[in-house]
Amino acid sequence: MSTTGYATRPAKPRSAPPRPGFRLRHPRRTFRITTGILIALLFAIPIAYVVMISFESQGQFVRSPLAPPTSPTFSNFSAAWTQGDLGPQVLNTILYAVVAAAISVALSLLIAFPVARRLIRGSTFIYRMFVIGVCIPLPVIPLFIEAQRLDLYNSRIGYILLHVEPGLPLGVILLTAFVLSVPEDLDEAAYLEGCSYLRYLVRIVAPLAWPSIVIAFLYSLLQVWNDIIGPVVFLSDPGLFPVTRGVYNFYGANVSSYTILAAAVVIVSLPVVALFIVSQRQLLRASVIASR
């Protein structure tokens, strides 16, 4: 057993020299461009098609379903706006989504701060409940019965209250993660200065946590906007419908005039697409935080 044996062993080449074929830029570039175009087409074509037919007259749509409109018309949009009664529904959706999401985020912060700082007993237990809450969907049947018993059925306030809870789990998780990154010395300094709890939360923590608050707000908002089962189960008065149910009913009632339906789909998508253009950076970053 001599240790010198290792030293005399010839050094093994660590790797083969790079093959010249891999140095060629050209095939790789072609591959990247092709896949890029494919991805763009896969996601743009379905949306572009609906936008396209929303500018077609009914006659042109029936004659040539694949060709772009020869003489674009805006008549579908005015027809959809009046026939589908879209104005009040867009306002309903904005009201439901903004108010429910705002309450949801405010409550998330009120829970997340004491939980992250362990100011209350059972902080870990509460946090775990919300983690489970992210994965498990809400059972709609008991919620329907509850809504009727608590007089929340078919009412604007009821619909908003019912949509606060779905935003809580993600909100609490995101904001807890954020509060943990704020140095605790800051709290102590503020308390010793005589700053009240609520004032500290509103004036110091909320501004610091603003990016996380925006993300939690946006996801809560999208959840309310996205809901189609809720409007079917919890609302019966068409005057209270959000756009999702309105445009879905419009589909059922207008199988013959798809161009007007397409215009309705474009109209109801505009507010949320505008919001997306403004906030895409936050939305796309959010899931990265949530995945940790």
Partner 1 sequence: MAQAYRTPSKVRLLSRPSRLVMWGGVALGMAFFVVFGIAPAVANIAISLTDYSGLAGASTSFTGLDNYTTLFTTQWPGFVASLGDSLYFVIGVTVIQNAIALALAHRLRGTGRTASLLRILVFLPIVLGVTVVGIVWLLIFDPQSGPAQAILGHVGIHSAFFGSGSWAMPLTIMAQVWQNLGFTMIVFLGGLKAIPPEIFEAAAIDGVNGWQRFRRVTWPLMAPVVSVNVTFAVIGSLTTYNMIYILTDGQFGTNTLGILAFNTAFGNTADLGLGASMSVILLLLAIIVALPLVAFLQHRERRLLA
Footprint of partner 1 on 82-101 (CB under 8 A): none
Contact string 195-234 vs partner 1 (x = CB under 8 A): -xxx-----------------------x--xxxxx--xx-
Residue 10 sits in the site that holds partner 1 (CB under 8 A): no
**Contact with partner 1 (CB under 8 A): which of 91, 131, 145, 202?**
145
Residue 188 sits in the site that holds partner 1 (CB under 8 A): yes
**Contact with partner 1 (CB under 8 A): which of 55, 61, 178, 241?**
61
CB 235 within 8 A of CB 152: no
**Contact with partner 1 (CB under 8 A): which of 143, 177, 208, 214?**
143
Please work out, in degrees rounded to the nearest 5, the angle formed at the alpha carbon of residue 287 by the alpha carbons of 285 and 289.
Answer: 75
Q: What is the DSSP string of 30-51?
A: HHHHHHHHHHHHHHHHHHHHHH
Residue 164 sits in the site that holds partner 1 (CB under 8 A): yes
Please work out, in degrees rounded to the nearest 5, the angle formed at the alpha carbon of residue 123 by the alpha carbons of 117 and 128.
Answer: 125
Any idea of the CA torsion for 50, 51, 57, 61, to the nearest 10 degrees?
-30
Residue 1 sits in the site that holds partner 1 (CB under 8 A): no
- 10 Å CB burial of residue 2 (0-12, 13-18, 19+) is exposed
**Contact with partner 1 (CB under 8 A): which of 91, 131, 140, 157?**
140
Residue 178 sits in the site that holds partner 1 (CB under 8 A): no
246 vs 231: CA distance, rounded Å? 9
Residue 46 sits in the site that holds partner 1 (CB under 8 A): yes
